[in-house]
A and B are shown apart, each in its own frame.
Chain A
């Protein structure tokens, strides 16, 4: 009897530990929300979401509109996907379908190493390497712009897209491929018309996860996109994303001011955006696993 109670208590202890994740997730949401409400109350949802002007320290008219920041974030995120999706999916297809096992064994850890490079280092290279290169190539005075940020974000989301797409592609049952090959299709036709379409939901989930990472990435875009808080007009515009705004300004504002709360409100928007992206990718992935 005592032994049973002991066993139950131990199980409960481990359960409580695993519940911490849920508590943290709810805690994040709660802290963001409770610190955002004063901002929404004072600024108004309408101005906050539909104004493109953000002048929290202006003498004449203080404004808190985050539209330009949302547009900037989406712009470089989609820009990053234009580079990262073809490159990532093609690399994943190579790894799972063409590369011989030896090459794969070397390449997979190499891609993990790319994932391990801190974002501040990638941002640094955006300043010292990619920025000057972009400025020279396109004859600009300054290479810290949307294009720079998009390329760096593409590099940062590559490992996620590659490794998860590869999982999806190698999970396609061998019988599908064999059937296609037996019907006289070439290996290339099989890959493009059978294997990749069968793995599509997994690939899409991988892309969405990569996108989620790009939306939330802070240091690289903070360092490499020029920090100009205005509506971007082209890929050569300097801009300021939601993440960069928080990173730049939170250190300078006194706690419990409207400006402070407004930064938490940006955090809340960011949290909700990435949460939705991740949730959708999760749902896609799970539907796909159930079919298997």
Chain B
């Protein structure tokens, strides 16, 4: 009897914990959605801030985040995919493979602000790109590399062995096999996984603080060497650096809502597609 009671209490506590985690997420989303939704309008999404950012919209920030994410994608997705192809298709057990895997795990743990310092040290100062879309995009690309590699590799792993063996047995070379039999199957999974990494990059603030994000720009960036406004940085400014923080609070909520909507939609779409793909080849 005492045993039963203990079990009941124990399981109840575990259930409660899971519920609490759900509740936290719910509170976060609820607060931002209910307080941000009233600000959202077509004007808010499509115009620039006016009167010291106390009026107007956030279009330049959305546009800037979009541009930086494109640079990030151009560098991080191919690098991640090629690296994953090596690890999953070519790598033999040995110190070099172990070292690469260790580096991936450690790179994933490097604090985002340290990537920011690295970006300043190498792209802004050493390569002399200055604070720019390019510097920020490259910094974010290196930061997301562990995610794109890991998720690309996971996608490659779902391709059944028989696909490779069949092709090799027919006399195809390794590269022909990868190109014709492995990649076409793995590609959708590789892309969705990489998109998860990009969504994270788009929401990052610390790495772009000094590599190119600007407080306010009266014009849209016209080249990859321009500075830019970005959604996460814009939210940071509205929340802490603005001279009349309480006046711009609604705009800050609106910016937060746009940011999490973008990040979460991309995230959710990628997760759903990934789970579908996972089940497809399980049988």
By a beta-carbon cutoff of 8 Å, the part of chain A in contact with chain B is 3, 6-7, 10-11, 13-15, 17-22, 24-25, 27-28, 31-32, 35, 86-87, 90-91, 93-95, 97-99, 107, 109-114, 116-125, 127-129, 155, 158, 162, 186-189, 191-192, 209, 212-213, 215-219, 222-223, 243, 246-247, 250-251, 255, 263-264, 267, 270-271, 274-275, 277-279, 282
Contacts and interface: CB of A to CB of B under 8 A. Distances in A.
Nearest to B7: A188
A98 B14 contact: yes
Given A223-B236, A250-B209, A87 B83 contact: no
Contacts of B122: 27, 31
A187 to B, nearest CB: 6
Nearest to A97: B14
Given A13-B82, A113-B264, A124-B235, A212 B4 contact: no
Interface residues on B, range: 35 or more
A247 B209 CA distance: 7
A99 B18 contact: yes
A270 B18 CA distance: 32
Given A20-B145, A87-B21, A278 B175 contact: no
Nearest to B240: A223
29 contacts: A11-B174, A13-B82, A15-B86, A15-B90, A18-B86, A18-B87, A21-B100, A24-B103, A32-B118, A91-B14, A93-B14, A94-B14, A112-B271, A114-B28, A119-B205, A120-B203, A121-B32, A121-B232, A122-B28, A124-B252, A155-B24, A158-B24, A188-B7, A270-B111, A271-B111, A274-B111, A275-B106, A275-B109, A278-B106
Interface in B1-54: 3-4, 6-7, 10-11, 13-15, 17-18, 20-22, 24-25, 27-28, 31-32
Interface of A (DSSP majority class): helix
A203 to B, nearest CB: 14
Given A91-B17, A219-B205, 9 more contacts: A3-B173, A11-B174, A14-B86, A17-B82, A17-B85, A25-B106, A121-B28, A122-B28, A247-B206
